[in-house]
Amino acid sequence: MTKTAWVFPGQGSQDLGMGMDLLDIPSAKEKFDQAEAILGWSVIEICQKDEKKLSQTVYTQPSLYVVESIFADLMRERGHKPDLVAGHSLGEYVALYVAGVFEWAIGLHLVKRRAELMESAAGGMMAALINFDRDQLEKVIAQTPNVVLANDNSPAQVVISGSPESVRAVMSEVKAKRAIPLRTSGAFHSPLMAPAAAEFQDILEFVEFQPAIIPVLSNVEPFPSIDGEILKQRLNKQMTGSVRWREISLQLPANDIEQVVEIGPGNVLTGLIKRTSPDLILKNVRRAAELPI
């Protein structure tokens, strides 16, 4: 058997129409209806026709969680299961659900509150740097207050996060092929998220995390664990901590993974993994037609 990891993308991968080809599947439609009862708004309506809302954190994150988890459930119904799971930022919640750490509805309640808190934490800035000098970047960040490496995505692509002044200062000092300001509501995965993270931690304390049935690679500590308490502690740090995706990509072959399936819209994660661990077999499940038999 080919050892397989399932990975789940986060905010930025959403696209209009995602998941809408699942509506003819009764179990999927049931999940969309359950989501509407929990959220108070319709994922279907927003994914079908409201691109502006779909780009807003408070709607983006729950919509991705719902769509990605439905695809994962359909794959499991067809007899497929992963040997390892991981998710990029928001995607980690889907990974934890698939690993049996919490029930689907609990995960959606957590994602809903996370999205609301992150949406309200305005004032910061994020930017992507592509094809840069890593040593220079690390040196400049160390010398610049109020900016951190938020997403270490691959050897050639990172995201920095912090105050607008500090992010722009790093962008101007570090030589990069491209430096792109991102349209986010705040400085995600940075210390500027600390007030939101503290409030979210109070919510997490009341949620029991079960031992995982599948090892999970976490964003802030990219080493496999099935310990529910460890996975909760790692999730606690996620809102202010760095997404160490480059290291997750390296951990996949180190844990004998041969194949990776990215479940959700787009192909961002398989693209990043290919740059870091090029020998892995990479597949995508972005729509119903790509579901394995």
pTM, whole model, 2 decimals?
0.96
**Unique residue bearing structure tokens 């090029």:** 278
Per the annotation, the verdict on 109 as an active-site residue is no
**Do 20 and 140 reside in the same domain of the chain?**
no
Shared-domain flag, residues 110 and 242: yes
- 3-class state of residue 151 by DSSP: strand
Phi, psi at residue 129, to the nearest 5°? -115, 130
The answer on 198 and 175 residing in a single domain is no
| Residue 189 falls in the annotated catalytic set | yes
Average per-residue pLDDT for the chain: 96
Q: Which residues contact 85 (CB under 8 A, 6 or more apart)?
A: 5, 6, 7, 8, 95, 96, 98, 99, 214, 215, 216, 217
pLDDT at 50 (0 to 100) = 93
31 with 143, same domain: the answer is: no
Residue range of the domain that includes 204: 4-121+190-290
Residue 146's CATH number = 3.30.70.250
Q: What confidence category does residue 1 fall into, taking pLDDT thresholds of 50, 70 and 90?
A: confident
pLDDT at 185: 79
Model confidence over 183-234: pLDDT tens digits? 887 899 999 999 999 999 999 999 999 999 999 999 999 999 999 999 999 9
Whether residues 129 and 175 fall in one domain: yes
Q: Which of 182, 211, 231 is the last residue of a domain?
A: 182
Q: What is the pLDDT of residues 37-84, one digit of tens each?
A: 999 999 999 999 999 999 999 999 999 999 999 999 999 999 999 999
Report the number of distinct structural domains present in the chain: 2
Judge whether residue 122 has pLDDT over 80: no
**Separation CA 75–CA 293 (nearest Å):** 8
Q: How high is the pLDDT of residue 17?
A: 95
Catalytic residue among 154, 163, 189, 242: 189
Residue 288 makes CB contacts below 8 A (sequence gap 6+) with: 21, 22, 25
Domain match, 85 and 13 both: yes
User: Quick one: 92 and 233 in the same domain?
Assistant: yes
Note whether 106 and 223 are same-domain residues: yes
Coil/strand/helix, residue 154: strand
CATH code for the domain in which residue 206 is found: 3.40.366.10
The backbone region for 42, taken as left when phi is positive above 0, alpha when psi lies in -120 to 50, beta otherwise, is beta
- Contacts of 279 by beta carbon, 8 Å cutoff, 6+ apart: 253
Query: How much is the pLDDT for 121?
Result: 84
- pLDDT tens, 124-136? 999 999 999 999 9
pLDDT score recorded for residue 205: 93
Quickly count: other Cβ atoms within 10 Å of residue 281's Cβ.
11
Do residues 195 and 284 share a domain?
Answer: yes
145-185 tens-digit pLDDT: 999 999 999 999 999 999 999 999 999 999 999 999 998 87
Last residue of a domain, which of 182, 199, 218? 182
Domain match, 80 and 106 both:
yes
Residue with tokens 């994020």: 126
Among the listed residues 89, 185, 242, 249, the single catalytic one is 89
Domain boundary among 182, 208, 228: 182
- 36 and 152: one domain? no
In a shared domain, residues 106 and 201? yes
